[in-house]
Structure 1
Amino acid sequence: MKKIALLAFLFAFPAALMAQKPVPVKPRILISTDIGGTDPDDNQSMAHFLMYSNLFNTEGLVSSPSYGAGSKQNILTMIDLYEKDLPKLQQHAKGYPTPDALRAICKQGRHGLVPYVGYATPTEGSDWIIKCAKKKSDQPLWVLVWGGLDDVAQALHDAPEIQTKIKVYWIGGPNKKWGVNGYAYIAKNFPKLWFIEDNGSYNGFFSDGDDKETLRDKNYYDEYIKGNGYLGKDFKKYYGGSVKMGDTPSLLYMMDGDPANPFKESWGGSFVKFNHSPRFVFNRNTTTADTVTVYSVMELHFKGPVVNNIPADSVCFTLTMHAKIGEQKWPGYYLGNGQYAIKYSPKQTETLSYKITSPIPGFTEQSGEFVVNNMWPGKNSKDDYQLGINWYTDRPDASLFYGIQQGARTVSKWRSDVLMDWAKRWAWLQ
């Protein structure tokens, strides 16, 4: 009786559930994901993508794990589940890609961070981004990045001409912290890129306090997913079925209205232009008198022993950061001629302390502190990356914060609509 009532509700009120507007043209998309790495919400987002894959011309699924043991196989495993559920999905909608077509566009990207310079060597994934971007088309290739930008940075380095052929929607925030070198390379060298940097807005999908009880994280699985298909059974493995999906707003943005207009309201957020990406360069250890902007690129440069047996841009020291979430370690680099440096991007307001150590003989231990404010992107300064006319980020209006997360209410306001629309597709798999 519960499922019959659910179906009656879903199909009786479809217009009330959706504030969605049709996308003018079926978009070309390529997803870069760190699925299988340290955060299982990518598996949830991949399930969501597969169940809506009839809405896109999908040209690439690239495994780009900055951290953790993720690989292309994690994507292929999700496609195997999709293959089993596909006959039921096809009973309700046309245009779903075949499993073999999806497998053919799965590519392995870089494992681990790019070095300080921001790029390294080509990967299967970065080469595939270039190949897709260079296809003759009246449409851009939308690159939706759910992890680090390392493969995107490599593709741009190897084929800079593609910067006019792609549009990037990046889930930043913690991914910026985990992959700051790739971001810094892109911001410095490709200001003409079309780029949405979503550092805070995506958090609106975690904010279920305004939803009715059945749509909240802890209840949605039991109400709408449990028992529905192979993808539904698999969903329980990630956070116990609690819906996270922090990367999904990039996909939702492509499903609602005209994605070429980042100022519009959409399921995936609404954004504003910004013309500078904050960067703070210190040639000394910092103190609590030093304040940096949340999501900024912070660089620490210092002198040490001259070593001839370490190539430039090699990892040779460790920065141990003490934050609210605990202790984290980050790799630092030798730039040559006794020069050492590291980039770091803070993801939230707090006071941080750090130590820098190295096994290099004669290397002096460094330590310091600094304060992070919550004013992204803040005032312009001389070291900032100067951006072009097509860079966009979270709306700064105070009314659109959800807690400390800037712009998050541009996403959270649609969360109920999104989840109820998805519930209809889960019902297809009963």
Structure 2
Amino acid sequence: MKKIVLLWLLSVGAVVLFAQKPVTVKPRLLISTDIGGTDPDDNQSITHYLMYSHLFETEGLVSSPSYGQGSKKELLRMIDLYEKDLPLLQKHQKGYPTPASLKAVCKQGRSGAAPFAGYTTATEGSNWIITCAKKKSKLPLWVLVWGGLDDLAQALHDAPEIQSNIKVYWIGGPNKKWSANSYAYIVANFPKLWFIEANSSYDGFFSNNGVPDSLRNRNYYDRFIKAAGYLGKDYKNYYKGAIKMGDTPALLYLMDGDPNNPYKESWGGSFEKFTHSPRIVFNRNPTLADTVTVYSVVELHLKGPVDNNIPPDSACFTMSVKAKIGEQKWAGFYLGNGDYVIRYCPKQTEMITYSITSPVKGFEERNGQFVVDNVWPGKQRSTDYQLGANWFTDRSDPKLFDDDSQGAQTVLKWRTDVLLDWAKRWKWLQEN
């Protein structure tokens, strides 16, 4: 999107805000989404994508519900709505993909999180990632992951050679909790990937800080979306029309600026290189004297009964975590020889209290606590995952925090531009 140069005439003189440059070549795009699961913000982001889909060479739309009951049927339903609105969109913009072409690249990915190994068996979605990544092209395949990494991890496991053909922008943060094992597999085995790990920058897109009243999350629908086509009517079903769209910055990153240069500003944020991804290993029950890094992989190793009837790498115990958002339960795995293990990724600063129980005979209940700090990626540890030259993450400059969200100002600063541009397209759908 070409941003308009804004000229503000102030009493102290003229100030010019220079525009970002639009992306000149249509990016090859594959979206992995947990749409239809427990968080309806993916429906909002898919709506936004469909209304801008002429900007991309869309090669794949993969349903990857590592948590919840999402499926590609929800993608197909959204495309049906797009089809009804397409004539109005085409009156103003050429190049929109046909609904049939979009449906043809919708694929079903893994349902449920991967086991401790980080991968299991191929899915239609993971195979499609491989197929697209192997196409002959001078352009990379951009894989935007709006949920868990399970299908991407499976694709890399089955065809490791594709790592040089893809570039990944992942909305991490809470999604990291649901795919901790797949994330661990990727960072441990594919450090040469080109990978943006956005754990908190995307928060800037649903921040109301400094945003005009008409563009605030709960006001935008009534001001711009209401009565705007079939997609607009459907939008009311998600958060009652209030904007969240936490996955949209991944798409915005490909719409504006220079996607091949993550250091530069773009609607989807700007990022900095990081060389280590925190992995914190406990061979005991941690206490409040232990502090872990936010978004890190916390790995708890337990000794328990040797049970040859439990298949290796199978879920056999439960970690119940009490945190700010309430209680959540996570599966732990048996590795054989009396070794039990679980990974957990905290998403915010807080105190964590947990208990571990299992139906395995002779397995003792465990309890523990630890504190989560707010410095990512934090100090280095010998157990950390070592990353290659092309791993990028949220900017750490304190001035770029929005409240507690690291790097979120790099997205928030463009939010007004993005929403005003989108408002023009909603207006297209209000025409008779």
Fold similarity call, TM over 0.5: yes
- For residues 237-295 of structure 1, give each alpha carbon's deviation from its aligned partner in whole angstroms, at most 9, with x where no partner exists: 00000011000000000000210000001100000000000000111111111111000
The structure carrying a bigger helix percent of its residues is: 1
In 1, Cα distance between the equivalents of 2:153 and 2:210?
A: 38
Contact 2:271/2:393 (8 A) holds in 1: yes
Whichever residue aligns with residue 59 of structure 2, its letter is E
Shift of 1:101: 0.1
Whichever residue aligns with residue 231 of structure 2, its letter is L
In 2, Cα distance between the equivalents of 1:19 and 1:368?
A: 51
In 2, Cα distance between the equivalents of 1:319 and 1:185?
A: 21
Contact 1:24/1:258 (8 A) holds in 2: no
| Alignment coverage as a number of residue pairs | 418
2:364 aligned with 1:364: yes
Shift of 1:15: 5.0
2:177 aligned with 1:180: no
- Structure 2 partner of 1:249: 249
- Structure 2 partner of 1:95: 95
Q: Normalising by structure 2, what TM-score?
A: 0.96
Shift of 1:97: 0.2
- Structure 1 partner of 2:26: 26
- For residues 48-97 of structure 1, give each alpha carbon's deviation from its aligned partner in whole angstroms, at most 9, with x where no partner exists: 00000000000000000011110000100000000000000001011100
In 1, Cα distance between the equivalents of 2:383 and 2:209?
A: 39
Shift of 1:209: 2.3
Q: Which runs of 4+ in 1 moved over 4 A?
A: 13-18
2:82 aligned with 1:82: yes
- Structure 1 partner of 2:402: 402
- Structure 2 partner of 1:5: none
- Structure 2 partner of 1:382: 382
Q: Normalising by structure 1, what TM-score?
A: 0.96
- Structure 1 partner of 2:316: 316
- Structure 2 partner of 1:275: 275
- Structure 1 partner of 2:210: 210
Shift of 1:24: 2.6
- Structure 1 partner of 2:14: none
- Structure 1 partner of 2:429: 429
Shift of 1:14: 5.6
- Structure 2 partner of 1:6: none
Matches within 5 A, 1:113-132: 113-132=113-132
- Structure 2 partner of 1:333: 333
Contact 2:143/2:169 (8 A) holds in 1: yes
Whichever residue aligns with residue 278 of structure 1, its letter is P
In 2, Cα distance between the equivalents of 1:416 and 1:18?
A: 15
- Structure 2 partner of 1:4: none
Q: Helix, strand or coil for the counterpart of 2:107?
A: strand
Shift of 1:178: 1.3
In 1, Cα distance between the equivalents of 2:209 and 2:187?
A: 35
- Structure 1 partner of 2:72: 72
In 2, Cα distance between the equivalents of 1:363 and 1:379?
A: 34
Whichever residue aligns with residue 307 of structure 1, its letter is D
- Structure 1 partner of 2:40: 40
In 2, Cα distance between the equivalents of 1:195 and 1:109?
A: 21
In 1, Cα distance between the equivalents of 2:417 and 2:87?
A: 26
Q: Helix, strand or coil for the counterpart of 1:355?
A: strand
In 2, Cα distance between the equivalents of 1:308 and 1:14?
A: 66
Contact 1:24/1:257 (8 A) holds in 2: no
Q: Helix, strand or coil for the counterpart of 1:354?
A: strand
Contact 1:264/1:270 (8 A) holds in 2: yes
Shift of 1:211: 1.0
In 2, Cα distance between the equivalents of 1:396 and 1:68?
A: 32
Whichever residue aligns with residue 150 of structure 1, its letter is D
Contact 1:114/1:120 (8 A) holds in 2: yes
- For residues 206-243 of structure 1, give each alpha carbon's deviation from its aligned partner in whole angstroms, at most 9, with x where no partner exists: 10121111000111000100001000000000000001
- For residues 360-406 of structure 1, give each alpha carbon's deviation from its aligned partner in whole angstroms, at most 9, with x where no partner exists: 11110001001111110011110000000000000001011011100
Whichever residue aligns with residue 248 of structure 1, its letter is T
In 1, Cα distance between the equivalents of 2:421 and 2:103?
A: 27
- For residues 11-60 of structure 1, give each alpha carbon's deviation from its aligned partner in whole angstroms, at most 9, with x where no partner exists: xx965499442113110010000000010000000000000000000000
In 1, Cα distance between the equivalents of 2:392 and 2:50?
A: 27
In 2, Cα distance between the equivalents of 1:401 and 1:315?
A: 38
RMSD: 1.1
- Work out the percentage of aligned pairs sharing the same amino acid: 72
2:224 aligned with 1:224: yes
2:152 aligned with 1:148: no
